[in-house]
Structure 1
Amino acid sequence: MRNVRCGSCRALLFRARQNAIAGDIEIKCRRCGTLNHLRPYEPFSDRPERPKRTNACGSSFP
C-alpha cells in the first residue's frame, strides 16, 4: 500500500495499491482545504503497438 498525502500540509489523503488509480482525480484536503490533482504513474496506452514492418530482404526501411 502507498500513502497519498496532501501537497501542501502533507496530511494523509488515502492509501492505495500500486496502479489503483486509473485516471485523473481531484481530492480536497480535509485539513487545509487544498485541491490536490492526482494522475496515475504510468498511463495506459490507448492504442496497441504497431507491428514492425520488414521488406522481403529483411530491411526495416521502406
Structure 2
Amino acid sequence: MKTINPATGKVIKEYSEMSFEEVSGIIYRANIAQKQWKHKSFTNRSVNLNKIAKSLKENKQ
C-alpha cells in the first residue's frame, strides 16, 4: 500500500499489508480501549487529549 502526494504523484511512503489476524487484533484492542475510555471523566479525557495535542505539535515535521 502506498501513500501518494496527489499534487506531484510521488510516493511518500510504502506500507506492508497486514494479515487478517493483525487487523483483528488491532480492532479487538481498540474496542477494549473504547470501553475503558467511555467511563473516564470529561476532565480526565481533556487532560489526555491535551497531552496528545502537545506531543503532536512537538513532533510535527
TM-score (norm: length of structure 1):
0.18
Q: Which has the higher helix share?
A: 2
Higher share of residues assigned strand: 1
